[in-house]
Structure 1
């Protein structure tokens, strides 16, 4: 079940990466690279920090799913753009799942709650950072005006606290993931924004 949820999250993240490739007028190879990096980059960074073989290299599905997402976007990107509200909801679900799972895995390796939460955030947003760098744009994380990283931070923090008080496994993971998901959805629906420095006006 966990792998199925992983693959769903990977697919949605890969769609967003491939769509960036379309907007940047990249060819199919560039689209595939952005899809793979967006979907797998965060988990790979986490596992490299933990000094374990990245989960992305334990199953061919982890690599093939982003390729499938790339093919879909390559041929039907106008249709994918039209259903982006639904994709955004799934993306929020992937964000919640990845931050919770990443935090739990880090703490299973003996990291402190703080470091575990940091790796949870890395799992959730690391792929997006790599995507933006490769696409030649400022990573969204550096101007989190749509509250993307903040829900991941809070979800990871809650997962770390639950793990610390010996509440882990799928109920704790689900609770942390739902919290991050709910915050992300609220941010999209209510147009919540992270504050700018005092005296700075938005563009």
Structure 2
């Protein structure tokens, strides 16, 4: 198994867990669990592959990705009741999924020889779109848009580090490891220490 395939599998599994945890909070049935888990797991990678004209799309080339996502959904369906706080588990699992998905998307774009801006955007899209689709479909405020939280910013920063580091190192693992580290550090810092971006606050117009 290649490094990029491993990252995709890991991203699919962890994001599927987050989708299934949201499904458990919405009290969906097993089919609902599987649907939300698969949507969350492959949404970002699908958009990445469509934009990069990567044919076939990764989960069509290897349907085992869907099997992994469904297995994750079944695991959560059987065990979600054991979590003392499913919201807390969801938030931290989502941060881990982001730190795996962003290097996965970044690595694919780097392997295709894309320019820096495209590499950064593909990493960000891969990391953020699955969770965005999950939250929109289940009528939650998208995690990527919560006030000031470092989510898209974390993904963008991690992908940027990888894109600029890749031409200067020999081993392809190093920029992707740096990408994962930066992404997770920023997202975890936002969760644990309240790191935020400035938020716009409306003020009455001056007369």
Measured against the shorter chain, the TM-score band is 0.7 to 0.9
**Residue matched to 2:82:** 79
Q: Is the 8 A contact 2:21 2:90 kept in 1?
A: no
- C-alpha displacement at 1:198, in angstroms? 3.7
Q: What does residue range 31-50 of structure 1 map to in structure 2 within 5 Å?
A: 31-50=33-52
1:27 is aligned to 2:29 = yes
Structure index of larger Rg: 2
**Residue matched to 1:67:** 70
- C-alpha displacement at 1:88, in angstroms? 4.9
**Residue matched to 1:13:** 15
**Residue matched to 1:128:** 131
Distance 2:115 2:95 in 1: 26
RMSD (Å) for aligned C-alpha atoms? 2.4
Distance 1:197 1:59 in 2: 44
Q: Is the 8 A contact 1:37 1:131 kept in 2?
A: yes
Q: Which runs of 5+ in 1 are unaligned?
A: none
**Residue matched to 1:119:** 122
Q: 1:19 to 1:85 in 2, by over 3 A?
A: closer
Matched pairs, number:
200
Match of 2:95 among 92, 111, 116: 92
Q: Deviations over 1:166-193 (max 9, x none)?
A: 6661111111111111222222211222
User: When the two structures are superposed, what TM-score results if normalisation uses the length of structure 2?
Assistant: 0.84
User: When the two structures are superposed, what TM-score results if normalisation uses the length of structure 1?
Assistant: 0.85
